[in-house]
Amino acid sequence: MGSSAVVASSIPHAVGSAMSFKRRGIDRVAVAVFGDGATEEGVYHESLNLASLMRLPVLFVCENNGLAVHSRRGARQSYDGARHSRSYGLDYSAIADGWNMRRIRETALDIVEQVRRGEPHVLEIKTARYREHVGIEEDFHRGYRALSDLEQFISMDPLLVDAVLAERLRPELEAEIEDAVRFAENSPPPGLSHLLEDVI
């Protein structure tokens, strides 16, 4: 579904998609992926409430690197993600080793089956920001995060420490990216006929 650069914008889009799936009897699950900073936006709270109230097939995935631009989580949030999610009646899971893609996959597959039955879920994945907030440069000189914290995460990243695995996955990933770019570049822009498509 469409999105924008506005913080938390994917969250209500996913809830709307999930509502559409449910109303039309379509066996699909909507997934919203966002950073921990997005949980401070009002629309996050509204979306969790509506998803729980209507038992929508939506999975909220919070990639938590503990930072929102240059602010640490403790300076921004007075709430605990697990207790907060459960206060809306949503199940909550957390993955501390966010570098472990196999654990993320297995956990998500189990959760999706619950979500498919109308049990919305919040999955928090602890991760790390490799580069500055926007761009490809380093920003450790700004003093709001430590290189040692990132190095610990990097030391367990299988795509960096397991060269055999990375090389095995690289061709498939690069082909998938190339296919997506080719599809986007060759697709015509949407016309007026698409304006109300999937609107119920």
| Predicted confidence band of residue 200 (pLDDT cuts 50, 70, 90) | low
Position 193 scores a pLDDT of 84
**Model-level pTM?**
0.85
Kindly report, residue by residue over 50-61, the tens digit of the pLDDT: 999 999 999 999
The span from the CA of 17 to the CA of 115, in Å, is 13
Residue 32 pLDDT greater than 90, yes or no: yes
The span from the CA of 136 to the CA of 102, in Å, is 27
Position 149 scores a pLDDT of 83
Retrieve residue 44's tokens: 């996050």
Position 3 scores a pLDDT of 64
Show contacts of 105-112: CB within 8 Å, 24+ apart: 108/59, 108/61, 111/59, 112/29, 112/59
Average pLDDT of the chain to the nearest whole number: 90
Looking at domain 10-131, its CATH architecture is 3-Layer(aba) Sandwich (3.40)
Count of positions (residues) in the chain: 200
Kindly report, residue by residue over 102-137, the tens digit of the pLDDT: 899 999 999 999 999 999 999 999 999 888 888 888
Q: Tell me the domain boundaries of the chain.
A: 10-131
Position 145 scores a pLDDT of 86
- Of 1-15, 35-49, 115-129, where does mean pLDDT reach its minimum? 1-15
- With both helix axes pointing from N to C terminus, report the angle between 42-54 and 10-24 in degrees, rounded to the nearest 10: 20
Position 2 scores a pLDDT of 63
Position 159 scores a pLDDT of 84
